[in-house]
Structure 1
């Protein structure tokens, strides 16, 4: 009986200095730094188990892989996998949960502080010689705000939303949770979606990207926010309409935005956010909120244990 083959399609999505735990069964391990869509079928032709972070596995591809038994997603989001087909074909799917409950909240808070205190603007002003021109021990070209006593509106109350709320409370912020958009009757502990937008000094998004949440924050929602409000998106790019966000920033309709995720990744010059990178109240990072070393090490352990659990006949972190 041949050994099961495990193929990692996009190993480069995990930093090279992070080592993976060993699987506790005999197997063949094959990894590729990255995989183009036209290479998927060939690379998985003999695989029983595939690891993917962002490589798309859709029906037309999966139907050509009769040996495939398990898709181990090396992330929480699994919108790159055709779940309906996997259910029909009996392909198991497992994801990784709860690994970034320190990394993501700290990133959110970091973006929030950088924007509220205008750190980018001051850095650019010093680099441009503004300090030398002022001839003072300090200068004030941008407003500096405090976090204590302000209100954080959390959209998405899963593990990451809750962990961010806990950290924000420790900083002296008031925290409110938004009910799902369009829901008139709120669950206990939640406020109507639109009211959270109106009350919040900072809005942070931690919900999955679905048909219902696509463009969750658009021009109408941004218009309801305070003129000094910050929008922080470490969830998924499609949650916020990027052009509407740029328009709101330019019109000073909101105070600033911190963006870690984009509608298309990597973002290119056609993205309105990148085209306006000069804005002092706009800060973005390349989808790395989840990526502290400790978080990624935890992710690799959960990922490999998901594979171990499947081979042992256990249901662990299973989507299907």
Structure 2
């Protein structure tokens, strides 16, 4: 099966899981469910939950055991996008070709929708773990996701990103922003999947290296697409990084050198994932997809 068709099938599977796990839009608080669903069902590549399941699979684990965690990853990712789009942050009007959450539901409800998705993600993971025979393994996986989303991961990267606006920063700080703001959740999800699959320490380390590299490459490509991408394909206006005076790889080292860095990261990622005990073909092709994508 061709990679893109395989990825499409896996992404559609994630879509079905998200629908299954989301609460019905009813009760006095039905508006928050609508706001959560609005952004969660807006589409997207669903790479993070796919990577979580694939990490469990490649080490010989049962992907079904990782399902609540892959769903939670996408909810946490969606919460971060809702908050990123708010006027106090990036102030974006469109996401994935649709008006952003705050444009539909207002700033307050959008803030609550993000909060709700974050909390509900942990509710799902903990519900799956309490009283279960594999609770210790699950708790380790939850820790990886919590760290990836928190002050030593995504939020930490966002803090430095906000503080670096309108400033010239060194490459070391830019790498910190990208590795935490973008890569940390990919790392957390893949480590969680691998832990649920009971990976060996060597396999876990190689999966971690793969996740870090594709995470950084993913953000570099995002930086490039914000300059040379097609707004219709991206589903949002281009040039927002420049407009918001954000530090990016192209701004720091230029487009050509940025592409070279991304390519080197992808090659290193593929080298790392080949060392894992299972079949790495899908994850190798996914790494190539990340560097060749147009949205």
Q: Give TM-score, length-normalised by structure 1.
A: 0.25
Q: Bigger radius of gyration, 1 or 2?
A: 1
TM-score, normalised relative to structure 2: 0.26
Q: Which has a greater percent of strand? A: 1
Instruction: Give the structure with the larger helix fraction.
Output: 2
Q: Which of the pair has the greater relative contact order for Cα pairs under 8 Å at 6+ separation?
A: 2
